[in-house]
Amino acid sequence: MILDLNQIKSSKSLDADVCIVGAGAAGITLAKELANSGLSVCLLESGGFEYDEDTQLLYEGTSTGIDYDVLLTRLRYFGGTTNHWGGTCRELDAIDFENRPWVPHSGWPIKKADLADFYSRAISVCKVEGLNKKLARRNPPPFLDKDHFIPLHFVSNPLNFGETYREAITRSRNITTVLNANVQSIETNAAGNRVTHVLARSLTGTRLVMRAKVFVLACGGIENPRLLLLSTKTHPHGLGNQYGNVGRFFQEHIYFHLVGLVVFNEKHRPFTSKAGNNYIYDFGIAESAQRKKGLLNSSFQGSPAKLPDLAPGIDSAKAVLKSIKSLDWPDNPLGHAKNIVSDIDDVAETVYRQFIRKELRPFNMNHWAERDIQPMDIKYTMEQIPNPDSRITLSSDKDHFGLPKVKLNWKFVEADKKNMQQSLLYLGAEVGRLSAGRFWIRPRINFNDDKAWPFPHGVGCHHIGTTRMHDDPRHGVVDRNCAVHGVPNLYIAGSSVFTTSGVSNPTLTIVALALRLADHLKATGRKS
């Protein structure tokens, strides 16, 4: 059944076994799994089936740390952000769930093995079975050593959950979908240890009182903490916030576009197939190397560089190679030093250090000089260290309903910068060790200039970690079953429960956790 609060003039009251707030990837997956479960379900969605600008503006907020748009990185209508999702899927790595001594505030209360069956089911929900099998057959880049770098198998199938699963949900006899229902507060009993109902309103003013036995917030990593912080009648600082953890540890996947890895050796030219078609490799730092070097999880996506964009660097590199071939080695090395470094180009500097200063590992000069240059674009994506000062709070600005908007203070820590530097140096050293080419960073990064940091070239629009999972309420907001500490009938779904982000896109794990929560609710619901 479908109800639209915009079409109802008088106040409304509803009752259900389970109330789900938010119809994005998590909420839709959860509702779909509870269909025909014997439990009555009510799915509340702030928007309708189509985009509406006035509804979208309810997501407005401010950013006081790293510049970030809290409005445009999410969508507020049925299907949520899957309405513009690129469909990229990958499981988190086993190491992502571990308590890593070199990563402060790391360690989930569950292991990856606990999600194994749910990942298998999530692959079906996200409809990436065939793509996954196809991609797994791809060979790793030939310039990688598996002890240092490993291939990463991302799969992509853009899937709009709102369109794909709308009919199954709206036709289900035990699910009532309420559109244009903007939840404004979560109400509890006098003791504050059990949610009794939520209050919602439409933009036209219609009110809804939604009572249920169990409530699930599935509104994303920004709106989930906002709703908890807005609910202060029995908890002055917000539900689940007795230790001040709600809204903290906001994380994103940040990426940088770099130019590097000039591959000279023919056998290390992995980007052209026999048919002459270019394709992309994804690779990451091996778990063993992360442990040994104390590095965060990172991914590198390599593809052939666009030559027009790199013309100055390529011309310079060719000039350097031409100079090398003309040199009378080793009788007159300094005579041509000026020619080699006059352009102050990174490649020229590398050659200068290689042959004049003898700082780098030697290689066969004539062999390399005769090879073609193949520059590559490198998209470097970095996991962020969980930072309690990177957080969501409420601002003094008010929305359409007179409620405080969100304020995001997104921050990096010094260790994030150090990790990026060390990861890039590690890749460069490995490429050089294998004589696969030379790697340089362009644009050049001055890691000693605090004003130039941070400078991410992009973000994943992945809102992670603001209601993190931890067995101890002093360190998290939800327990291992995603129940809010101290409020056992209130659950949270989505990437806000992630303790750490890893380097994988979060949607597959969001769906896996929603499936796990659905099984938990079905088991506990039948007992109650």
Instruction: Judge whether residue 496 has pLDDT over 80.
Output: yes
Better-scored residue on pLDDT, 254 or 122 = 122
- Per-residue tokens: 450: 């605090």
Mean pLDDT for 485-508 is 97
- Per-residue tokens: 205: 């003013």
Handedness of CA 473, 475, 476, 480 (dihedral sign): negative
pLDDT per residue as tens digits for the range 277-296 = 444 568 899 999 999 999 99
pLDDT per residue as tens digits for the range 129-145 = 865 555 555 555 555 77
Q: Considering the domain 2-87+156-251+388-406+463-497+510-527 in this protein, what is its CATH number?
A: 3.50.50.60
pLDDT per residue as tens digits for the range 437-451 = 666 665 566 666 666
Q: Are 212 and 229 in contact (CB under 8 A)?
A: no
Pick the range with the lowest mean pLDDT from 73-82, 122-131, 458-467. Answer: 122-131
Residue 395 has φ and ψ, to the nearest 5°, of: -100, 175
pLDDT per residue as tens digits for the range 324-347 = 344 333 344 343 333 333 333 444
- Per-residue tokens: 225: 């903490």
Paired strand residues for 469? 478
How many other CB atoms are found less than 10 A from the CB of residue 354? 20
Mean pLDDT for 378-385 is 89
Mean pLDDT for 41-45 is 98
Query: 343: buried, middle or exposed (CB in 10 Å: 19+, 13-18, 0-12)?
Result: middle
User: Which range, 243-247, 260-264, 277-281, has the best average confidence (pLDDT)?
Assistant: 243-247
The strand pair at 88-89 and 155-156 is best described as: antiparallel
DSSP 73: T
Entry pTM: 0.86
Residue 310: which H helix or E strand, with range? Answer: none
Instruction: Judge whether residue 518 has pLDDT over 70.
Output: yes
pLDDT per residue as tens digits for the range 402-428 = 999 999 999 988 899 889 889 988 888
Instruction: Judge whether residue 151 has pLDDT over 50.
Output: yes
Instruction: Report the chain's mean pLDDT, rounded to a whole number.
Output: 83
- What is the domain partition of the chain in residue ranges? 2-87+156-251+388-406+463-497+510-527, 254-382+417-452
Q: Are 498 and 487 in contact (CB under 8 A)?
A: no
Helix, strand or coil, per DSSP, at residue 224: helix
